[in-house]
Structure 1
Amino acid sequence: MKETSNDQSLFLRFLMSPKTRLVRHLSLILVLTLLSLLSGGEPEQKYYGNITIYVTAALFLWFITPFYLNMYLLVPRLLFKGKLLAYMFTVILLILGSFLLLITGDEFLQKYRINPVQIERNMVQAFLGFLLVFAIVMAASTAVKLFQRWVKDSQTLAEVKQQALRAELSQLKGQVNPHFLFNTLNNAHVLTQTNPDKASAVLISLSRMLRYQLYDGDRELVPLRNDLNFLEDFLELEKIRREGFDYEINLSGSLMGIMIPHFLFIPFVENAVKHSYDIHQPSFVKLWLSVNNSFLCFSCSNSVPEHPLKQERSNGGIGLANIRRRLELLYAEDFILELDAGHLNYLVNMKIPLPS
């Protein structure tokens, strides 16, 4: 399967790449030259002196002119623009003109033949034979142009789809980031008012977070370690701000060199922090990350208060919906996302493939 794909890729590059254009045209010229030589091989078609060379050159031009005229003029300017009647009319004129030129030239060359033989012509049969050769030449040039057009359109369509996916991913990520930043700034504002002594630590953490968001926000993939540092700053900020809150980050396996989409985990962690808030009991958020058979496994668990406070509906719930859509765009169906809402805790399990 892989060899077939490589062969197809080489064939497409040969037909489409500007670098192979000269080779393509030289190959065509070689084929048409051979056809021209074969066309002058009958005994009654031998000529005196250098006339054979001129006849071969004329036959070569007779073959190549309609081929290139059709491929570079008629097909692009008439057929591709929907002018089918004009295309057919022009091809008919080209057929009649080429046939008339061939018959006239053949009659003119009679006196230059070594063994001039008068052959009674069946014009219908001669025209049908000519039409077959001409149709092959025209069909070949049309097929080449149609195939190139199909490949180009397919590539354009694939590029448009890819650009649309990137635009949608960028839009979804853009909805997550400002929402998260807004919550973080609110937290910092509350902390500076309630405990100014810890304001310095908050600002340092917030500075690292903003730096990460500024310099890595536009990258498609970021090191996993960078995202983990961001999560730790976020959770540490929440721990400073909120009494009775604690967190754990548990790592398993070698996570060095692993690249992930930017801000992949923060919607889950932000949601866990938000819904673990309890004014009566201690609260927690626990994270687990491990590598298992080329997959990255992520779990996020948070405590749930026995009597949760009613929270106003806002854009805060947009993060989880967006992350599911991002996963679909990034991994199609090759991922697992499970949400388990228990009585005293809420658990998220996610499994994504690692980049090969």
Structure 2
Amino acid sequence: MNRFAYTRAGTVREAVQALAADPAAQLIAGGTNLVDLMKYNVARPGRLVDINRLPLDAIGEHEGGLRIGALVQNSTAAEDDAVKARYPLLASAILAGASPQLRNAATTGGNLLQRTRCYYFYDEGTPCNKREPGSGCPAITGVNRIHAILGASGACIATHPSDMCVALAALEAVVQVEGPDGARSIPLAEFHRLPGDAPERDTTLAHGEIVLSVDLPAEDFSRHYTYLKLRDRLSYAFALVSVAAALEMDGDTIRSARLALGGVAHKPWRNPEAEARLRGRTATPEAFREAADLILAEARPYAHNAFKIELARRAIVRGLGQAAAGTPQSQTDKRIA
């Protein structure tokens, strides 16, 4: 681990100024991802800006929905009565991730800013375009079982690790940030980015900007939803494929559909065309398979992850079926319903 300076911010403005003034500075809150990266010598911040004293740890009403502060712990968000009642998809996704100990430390903002997962990214003895732009992506021809099948590029095929963000994508959350040029709102769909030719950038945040909160809109997907996570172990493992499904139903007819995938791309993956195709349809396996085929039409497998395409197809059909029936996947009994 490298030597670094330390600043404890007392206000949002102090945090923004400290971060913007030092190109090598990074924020720290729960530290569940950053500290690991520092131990592996992958992240080498010259300064840590501690934001734990900022007043960003509340959950409250906002324009008919909820606003979740950036410093709200994952465990707090998952157990909040308003979140469980109005956005159970989000609570379920959070409980599917990590372990109770990590959820007690991890924060909403930190979860949004997790670095993508890749064996080579975490191994400083190998090249990696995310660590050193232009050095290459050995995952493309190497061990790539956990890697992307959608939205990848010749520079990077890593996947985004968050469960929480997959649910936020389906719920069309909005991220509130503040930086040197003031405040702005970023739709979750635009917050994370595909690798393209700049895989070192996981998000669209500018240097000096910090996450203040996540806003959940007022739409009601509290009855017909599921978060289905398929992984190598039943606990403490990242998703090979995950599905966040949220439906509005009129009897057996789908009035509105939201669907986001995790474990398949550099960001939570949505396909608006597939969602539109489901609207007005009867909730049947055939309709769900059509949506899955549309989502996966451009999937590109690599040597060790071709299985993900069929796994994703089946997960989409199963997840939409659970959501339509109002029988969400349990995160306590993780056997697939």
The TM-score with structure 2 as length reference comes to 0.23
Larger radius of gyration: 1
Answer 1 or 2: higher relative contact order, Cα 8 Å, separation at least 6.
2
Choose between structure 1 and 2: higher strand proportion.
Answer: 2
The TM-score with structure 1 as length reference comes to 0.22
